[in-house]
Amino acid sequence: MITSKRLAAGVCALLAALTAGVAFPAAALAGEPTGEATPQVDLVLDVSGSMRTRDIDGGTRMAAAKQAFNEVLDATPEDVELGIRTLGANYPGDDQKTGCKDTAQLYPVGPLDRTEAKTAVATLSPTGWTPIGPALLKAADDFDGDGSKRIVLISDGEDTCAPLDPCEVAREIAAKGIGLTIDTLGLVPNAKMRQQLSCIAEATGGTYTSVEHTDELTDRVNQLVDRAADPVVTPVATEGAASCAKAPTLKSGLYTDREEFGQQRWYRVDVEPGKELRASVSVGADRAVNPSYGVLLRAVTVRGREIVRGEAAGDGRTDAVSTGLRYPKAERENEDEAAAESVCLQVTNSFSAASGVKTTPGLPLELTVDVVDGPSQASDVASFGLGRGWWLLGALILAGFVAGLLWGWLSRWRVAVWRTN
């Protein structure tokens, strides 16, 4: 006779076996090599006197930065080399010439000792000036090696070391061709700071984000550190056109652009027969906007016929809205019809600026383009649009179905045994 304990043990064993069968291939995929070059990130933190201001979640801006840094250090991937540079952390005086030299490497870019890095961050206290330009010049020399290089600049104010323009510094860094991206985050930003930090980011193909809460700062820095670990998604600056005919042709990759309020931006992608175009777009609100907004992404032919569209709306609870689309191009038997098709992508937003807010520069836009094997490739599970995760989803569904049947049978069996006794 099968006891309830033995049956329960059998259910557990079956589920364990199914789970092991699912987990092993997943682990193998996660362990695929990502390249020999080690990605590097330099976090550049403003420690000027204004960081004492108490306007982020009831605490000081410095306290928010320290908390975010501790969480980011805990979450930094093992294959990322990370460093920390400060600006305005050491000189408390009024001499501008001295204050504008106040930048130091708090923790060198390299293998991360989390305890040591956290201890270094804990010692910081808001002190001096805001030498953003000099700090970026020094930070560009903090890197070594051939991996992807990313600076993440966090500041609560514009540079105080004119005439050295930090935007010109960023352009100078970009002109060196060393593949260095600068992302900027503004703590409780004003219009002048937002414009300056946006210009710095744009010069190197980076992104600008405004931050008013500690969790937003933590999440965004984590995203940028993770992005550095995958050079494939390093964004490339582009400029969409006002019409499909003049649009730039993009290959698979991640692109950044600026889009004015209510503006249309056009891009082109060549899709060969048997391939599938997957595209997604995010438009961010880096300034105060009215609460109702949306974004529309359309794929159309060069003659203007709509192929497919994706759209999304927001209500003011997030600072970005995203949508995506898929277009599979069927195989062609006729050689005359086997040429690549030029597909036009149109991005339109319905953001509107709040009263008194400047509408320039445009809103930050991130566009992801991917051309993959299409549904005509029967052996490729990616044709279902779920990639290598399709078999994982199927296995989980099967496991749940079997477990449900066994659990239901076990329950009925126990009720029957109880009634007979």
pLDDT at 233 over 90: no
Could you list the residue range(s) of the whole structural domain that residue 248 is in?
236-383
Could you give the strand order of the β-sheet that contains 320-328, starting from the edge strand earlier in sequence? 236-237, 253-259, 363-373, 275-284, 320-328
pLDDT at 287 over 70: yes
In the block, which residue shows the tokens 């590097």?
40
Please report the pLDDT score of residue 285 as a whole number. 82
DSSP secondary structure code for residue 56 in this structure: E
* Whole-number Å distance between alpha carbons of 158 and 46: 10
**What are the Cα distances from residue 64, in Å, to 78, 86, 155, 187, 188?**
24, 16, 12, 10, 12
State whether 277 and 328 are in the same domain. Answer: yes
- For residues 153-171, one letter each, b for 16 or more C-beta atoms within 10 angstroms of the residue's C-beta and e for the rest, the string is bbbbbbbbbeeebbbebbe
For residue 388, tell me if it sits in a domain.
no
Range among 55-64, 332-341, 396-405 rated most confident: 55-64
- pLDDT per residue over 141-175, tens digit each? 999 887 789 999 999 999 999 888 999 999 898 88
State whether 363 and 262 are in the same domain. Answer: yes
Chain Cα centroid distance, residue 75: 15
Give me the number of domains the chain comprises: 3
Please report the pLDDT score of residue 259 as a whole number. 92
Which CATH number covers residue 290?
Answer: 2.60.120.380
Please report the pLDDT score of residue 335 as a whole number. 53
State whether 222 and 346 are in the same domain. Answer: no
- pLDDT per residue over 293-330, tens digit each? 999 999 999 999 999 999 988 877 666 788 888 898 87
Nearest to 308 by CA among 283, 337, 279: 279
**What are the Cα distances from residue 81, in Å, to 34, 58, 78?**
15, 33, 8
State whether 317 and 416 are in the same domain. Answer: no
State whether 154 and 219 are in the same domain. Answer: yes
State whether 227 and 248 are in the same domain. Answer: no
For residue 274, tell me if it sits in a domain.
yes
Q: What pTM value is reported for the model?
A: 0.53
- pLDDT per residue over 12-38, tens digit each? 444 444 343 433 333 333 333 344 578
Final residue belonging to a domain, choices 209, 233, 257: 233
Please report the pLDDT score of residue 1 as a whole number. 41
- pLDDT per residue over 354-394, tens digit each? 888 888 888 889 898 988 876 544 333 333 334 444 555 56
Q: How many CA atoms lie within 13 A of 225 on its CB side?
A: 27
- pLDDT per residue over 40-88, tens digit each? 999 999 999 999 999 999 999 999 999 999 999 999 998 899 999 999 9
More confident residue, 370 or 286: 370
Final residue belonging to a domain, choices 184, 212, 233: 233
Which CATH number covers residue 224?
Answer: 3.40.50.410
* Whole-number Å distance between alpha carbons of 173 and 214: 30
State whether 23 and 134 are in the same domain. Answer: no
- Band of the pLDDT at 236, cuts 50, 70, 90? confident
